[in-house]
Chain A
Amino acid sequence: MDIPAMIPELMSALPLTLAITFTALIVGFCLALIAATLRIRRLPVISIFADLYVSYARSVPVVLQLFVAFYGLPLLVALLGAPDFFSPTVAAMVGLSLYHGGYLSEVIRPAYLAVDRGQHDAADSLGYTFRQKMTRIVGPQAVHIALPGYGNSLIYLTHNVALVMYIGAADVMATAHLIMERSYNQYQFETYLVLAVIYSLMCLVAWLIVRLFELRSPMYAPQAKQLKQVAMPSV
């Protein structure tokens, strides 16, 4: 098995993998903002749903979340009366968006809360509107605190995209399995090594991007309580 011949074929599956990742990134971010806001604000009934959603996303294995999306979506889509709009890729996008949103909301919420209370008070006393306060004072500090955690969650998302194969999306892992089966499963170890390198590179790129933002972040927030960041993988 020559590894160089394998790489272009694996790379051909990369766009789909990246498409799933980016969808999850963007949709997940919006979900995380909503969930974090609801959990900070504590609206009567909706906040309970937000709590439930976050604990679902954090305590259930990602494979299981993908399967729930894969088998639950047709049901939901049928209820809405659009039977054909559905594929493993869409299920993967939905499942990973939900997972990423729940995980990220627990990065955003503590970061927001870690900004010193006095900063809010100062902004309020100067007559800032909520929007001004968020964009000029609290936001930049919270972003600064949240960036390392965001980097982690980005890397975990990249890792977990390796799982979409199990619901039948044709990503890099699935392509690798095709290649292995074509060579009668002789070179599994080598193929997985190549996969490991590919995923490591993807994580490296993700990490470099976040690092760039961290270095360029103009905010220096000495007053903000530094969050204890113990990275734990998310499976």
Chain B
Amino acid sequence: MFDFEILVQDAQEILGAVPFTLLMAFMIFIFSAILGSLFALVEHQRVPVLREFVFAYKVAFKGIPMVIVIFLSYYGLPPVIQFLASLIGVKFNGHATPNWVILVIAVTACIAAFQAEVVKGALNSFDTGQADAARSLGYTSGQLFRRVLFPQVVIAAIPDLTNSIMVIMKALSLGFAIEVVDIFAQSQLTAALNFYYLEAFVIAVVIYMVIAYAVTQAADRMERALRVWI
């Protein structure tokens, strides 16, 4: 029925996939945060044409399930990459793109739509009176951003950014559809070898919950440490 000796054995194998999963998650987090910040900036500054584009982007990527986005980029990206490479005169076989790169691009595209919301919310929480005060003291825009706006906005965004790290971790589990081996895919592979499916999946569940707990705790600590004025 439920074999506890298998658990220990499986755990070692599945834990081996954790570093790569975390690495991918980290990459996606950085890229999507940058892309999302750009989107949020476009919306915040009300840039005329780009604003409509960002809106359309958000509607599209929030409405379509992530599996489908992943599959679409799996089949659609290689020709696109090849075409773009040929435009700038580089001979590049787009179909040789590693699957994990495609997964990273697809998930980044999805998450960026949500990250834009996070950054926008954080920007809105910023008190404009402080900007006025800084301006009246003769701060330049760069100084205003570096010394006043950025430190506050980052702290306001920490809980939602933590949330998005967890979402990215989970989103990577869909990578098994295009043969990227993360924690979930590794547990499937392990189970396929010894037929103890439930055991392998229980291990994966525990790993995910532990990671979630660790990330949340770390973020809470960081927020408390950085939040100086309360």
Contact = CB atoms under 8 A, between A and B. Distances in A.
Contact of B209 (A55, A163, A188, A235): A55
B14 to A, nearest CB: 11
A129 to B, nearest CB: 37
B123 to A, nearest CB: 12
Given A61-B184, A233-B110, A228 B64 contact: no
Interface in A194-235: 195-196, 199-200, 203-204, 228, 230-235
A189 B201 CA distance: 31
A193 B63 contact: no
Contact of B75 (A173, A188, A228, A232): A188
A41 B162 CA distance: 27
B31 interface: no
B68 A230 contact: no
Most buried by B among A67, A196, A204, A235: A235
A192 B72 contact: yes
A5 B6 CA distance: 48
Contacts of A230: 114, 117-118, 121, 160, 163
Interface stretch (A68-76, A110-118, A141-149): A68-76
A186 to B, nearest CB: 11
Interface in A55-72: 55-56, 58-64, 67-68, 71-72
B170 A235 contact: yes
B198 A75 contact: yes
Contacts of A119: none
Contact of B114 (A59, A189, A233): A233
A160 interface: yes
Contacts of B187: 64
B198 A63 contact: no
Contacts of B202: 68
Main SS class of interface, B:
helix
Contacts of B204: 60, 64
A11 B166 CA distance: 34
Contact of B76 (A59, A189, A195): A189
Contacts of A133: none
Which interface class (under 10, 10 to 19, 20 to 34, 35 or more) fits B?
Answer: 35 or more
A75 B208 contact: no
A71 B201 contact: yes
A233 B62 contact: yes
Contact of B117 (A166, A231, A234): A231
A203 B68 CA distance: 14
A162 B65 contact: yes
A192 B209 contact: no
A154 B198 CA distance: 28
Contacts, number: 121
A204 B60 CA distance: 11
Contacts of A120: none
Nearest to A190: B75
B205 interface: yes
Contacts of B160: 230, 232
Nearest to B121: A230
A60 B169 CA distance: 9
Interface in B107-134: 110-111, 114, 117-118, 121
Given A59-B166, A63-B174, A71-B201, A204 B117 contact: no
Interface string B1-12: 110000000000
A179 to B, nearest CB: 14
Contacts of B69: 196
B175 to A, nearest CB: 10
Nearest to A69: B201
Given A63-B174, A235-B170, A199 B121 contact: no
A59 B208 contact: yes
Given A55-B212, A61-B184, A159-B65, A235 B201 contact: no
B18 interface: no
Given A59-B166, A61-B173, A163 B76 contact: no
7 contacts: A55-B213, A56-B205, A60-B209, A68-B198, A155-B62, A162-B65, A163-B174
Given A64-B173, A230-B163, 12 more contacts: A60-B205, A61-B169, A61-B170, A61-B184, A163-B174, A188-B71, A189-B75, A196-B68, A199-B65, A200-B64, A232-B163, A232-B164
